[in-house]
């Protein structure tokens, strides 16, 4: 008998996959979940659905954005939609989804950041990211193990920095030296480059997000560099 799809069985298997006593496996620094990780799949659907509901209203546009970002295999779109709609009924319980992913994949921060990027994309799908959605995203990031400064960087590269705050894009605080700025720029630019996403086999939606993030990163670096050069005169 052919192996049954992760998506087909996700609702029945998710509870077992989220066993809080389960031992987290050992793995390297790859930016992908473990093969056939039902718990990860269930958690991502749950977080995406609850992201769509965080502002009190969930429409078709959020479902379509989630389906583009977290692509179900061909033929499983219906199962994805059903699981999404079921998880969308309430925002309650999202903390457990985030904690399970954060604990299991803490050594793969690039994977966790990919999930956050996808959630930001869903939040912005209707043209506006509300305060309640930002609160939700910040809480998910905290459960993933990201610091406030790291979330500030991820938020800035997805939504653009706050006025006069390009440092946020590079994950720095104002007052950093030019050398610190240069090192941060190189690190963040390498981690978020579109070619890096392509080499990982990421879907087109994530490659597009990477292009936008790279543009924001380079613009922030250029602005800080210009300011510091003026101050040095």
Distance (Å, whole) CA 9 – CA 80: 11
Distance (Å, whole) CA 137 – CA 160: 15
- Residue 201's pLDDT is 73
Please indicate, yes or no, whether residues 130 and 206 belong to a single structural domain of this protein.
Answer: no
Query: Where does a domain end: 95, 112, 146?
Result: 146
What are the angstrom distances between the C-alpha of 2 and each of 5, 36, 38, 40, 147?
Answer: 9, 15, 17, 22, 43
What are the angstrom distances between the C-alpha of 198 and each of 17, 166, 193, 227?
Answer: 29, 26, 9, 33
- Residue 17's pLDDT is 38
Provide the total of helices (H) and of strands (E) in the chain, helices listed first. 11, 0
Flag whether 25 is in a domain: no
Flag whether 221 is in a domain: yes
Q: Confirm if 70 and 153 have CB atoms less than 8 A apart.
A: no
Q: pLDDT tens per residue, the chain (233 residues)?
A: 233 344 444 444 443 433 344 444 343 346 778 877 877 888 888 888 888 777 766 678 888 888 887 777 777 778 788 888 777 776 567 788 888 889 999 998 988 998 899 899 888 888 888 889 999 999 999 999 999 889 988 998 888 767 568 888 888 888 888 999 999 999 999 888 888 878 777 777 778 888 988 998 999 899 899 888 876 66
Distance (Å, whole) CA 67 – CA 9: 18
Please indicate, yes or no, whether residues 206 and 221 belong to a single structural domain of this protein.
Answer: yes
Flag whether 29 is in a domain: no
- Residue 92's pLDDT is 64
DSSP string, 43-102: HHHHHHHHHHHTTS---HHHHHHHHHHSPPPTT-HHHHHHHHHHHTT-STTHHHHHHHHH
How many domains would you assign to the chain? 2
What are the angstrom distances between the C-alpha of 118 and each of 45, 174, 183, 211, 221?
Answer: 11, 28, 26, 14, 24
Distance (Å, whole) CA 192 – CA 99: 24
Residue 34: how many other CB atoms lie within 10 Å: 14
Q: Confirm if 119 and 129 have CB atoms less than 8 A apart.
A: no
- Residue 120's pLDDT is 92
Which among 41, 35, 90 has a CA at the least distance from the CA of 66? 41
Please indicate, yes or no, whether residues 119 and 193 belong to a single structural domain of this protein.
Answer: no
* Prediction pTM value: 0.67
Which among 93, 101, 91, 102 has a CA at the least distance from the CA of 52? 91
Radius of gyration of the chain from Cα atoms?
18
Flag whether 28 is in a domain: no
Query: Where does a domain end: 91, 118, 146?
Result: 146
Please indicate, yes or no, whether residues 51 and 133 belong to a single structural domain of this protein.
Answer: yes
Residue 67's domain comprises: 1-20+35-146
Q: Which residues contact 34 (CB under 8 A, 6 or more apart)?
A: 25, 27, 40
Query: Where does a domain end: 110, 131, 146?
Result: 146
């Amino acid at each position: 008998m052919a192996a049954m799809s992760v998506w087909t069985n996700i609702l029945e298997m998710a509870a077992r996959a989220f066993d809080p006593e389960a031992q987290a496996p050992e793995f390297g620094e790859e930016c992908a979940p473990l093969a056939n990780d039902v718990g990860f799949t269930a958690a991502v659907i749950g977080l995406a659905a609850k992201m769509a509901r965080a502002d009190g209203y969930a429409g078709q546009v959020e479902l379509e954005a989630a389906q583009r970002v977290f692509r179900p295999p061909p033929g499983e779109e219906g199962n994805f939609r059903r699981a999404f709609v079921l998880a969308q009924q309430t925002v309650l319980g999202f903390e457990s989804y985030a904690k399970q992913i954060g604990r299991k994949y803490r050594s793969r921060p690039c994977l966790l950041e990919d999930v956050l990027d996808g959630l930001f994309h869903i939040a912005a799908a209707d043209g506006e990211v509300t305060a309640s959605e930002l609160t939700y995203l910040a809480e998910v990031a905290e459960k993933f193990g990201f610091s406030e400064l790291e979330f500030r960087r991820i938020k800035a590269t997805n939504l653009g920095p706050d006025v006069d705050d390009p440092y946020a894009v590079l994950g720095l605080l104002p007052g950093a030296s030019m050398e610190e700025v240069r090192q941060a720029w190189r690190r963040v630019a390498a981690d978020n480059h579109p070619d890096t996403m392509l080499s990982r086999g990421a879907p087109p939606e994530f490659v597009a997000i990477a292009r936008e993030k790279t543009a924001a990163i380079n613009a922030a670096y250029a602005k800080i560099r210009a300011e510091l050069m003026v101050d040095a005169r």
